[in-house]
Amino acid sequence: MVDLHSHILPALDDGAKDVDEALQMLRLAKTQGVDTMVATPHYHSAVNTIDTFIQTRNAAYLSLINTIETQEEPVPEIMLGAEVYLTPELAESESLNALCMGRSKGILLEMPYDIWYDWVYKAIYQIAAKNRVVPVMAHLERYSVRPGKMESIEKLIAMNVYIQINAASLFDHSMWKTIKRFFVLSDRIVLASDAHDMADRISLMDQACDKIAKKFGKETLQAVMSNADRLLLENR
């Protein structure tokens, strides 16, 4: 199983605070059936250049890998990516491919929490067209709690983007109606943990898979899993 969204790199953002917690998160993911985790630390163009972000991210990755190599227990394979905050100027970047997941064309985009004006949809279209990347919208269900937001979300879904749902959201009653709507509107849904730590924002991938199979059927679960595989393998 692939987990496309996680914050396992140590001391980098609001995710794992150190290497020890990162290892605990990896061990937990392995017990839940995760074979590949994409490390997606937050990237915001107003905070860092892409080059600076990549250098910092890679240093955190190496510190984790060096420790993993001293361990005898198996952990998921780690691929590098980013959770990229959407800004109007993002489409003009010449190095967006460096933020994609692994060697794929899939890029995880985090939407703004305020009103989605026309620039939002234009930027996503330009990001995909100019950079030839595949937008994956991070935890899209979380935006539905704002009044009137569902209409904006459905407009976005109509652009045929991938919808990434957080595993924990499947157990949040306030988001259940939205998630059911997603499964009606789109066949481009992927599941991810968005794991940040071993306390409040822990991975629930195995439980979420069980719930999808129970509520929507095993074929739907298989389609969700296949979507994640396809993003990493077929969009190179």
Q: Domain of 219: which CATH number?
A: 3.20.20.140
The boundaries of the domain holding residue 106 are: 2-233
pLDDT bracket for residue 73 (50, 70, 90) = confident
Give pTM, 2 decimals. 0.96
Mean pLDDT check: name the lowest of 29-38, 90-99, 175-184, 218-227: 90-99
Q: What is the mean pLDDT of residues 38-63?
A: 97
If one counts the domains in the chain, the total is 1
Q: d(Cα 156, Cα 152) in Å, to the nearest integer?
A: 6
Closest of 155, 233, 220, 156 to residue 189, by C-alpha = 220
Contact 50, 92 (CB under 8 A): no
Checking if the pLDDT of 236 tops 80, the result is no
Q: How far apart are CA 230 and CA 224, in angstroms?
A: 10
Average pLDDT of the segment spanning 59-78: 94
Q: pLDDT tens, 123-159? A: 999 999 988 999 999 999 999 877 678 899 999 999 9
Could you tell me where the DSSP H helices lie in 114-204?
A: 118-131, 149-157, 173-185
- Sequence length of the chain is 236
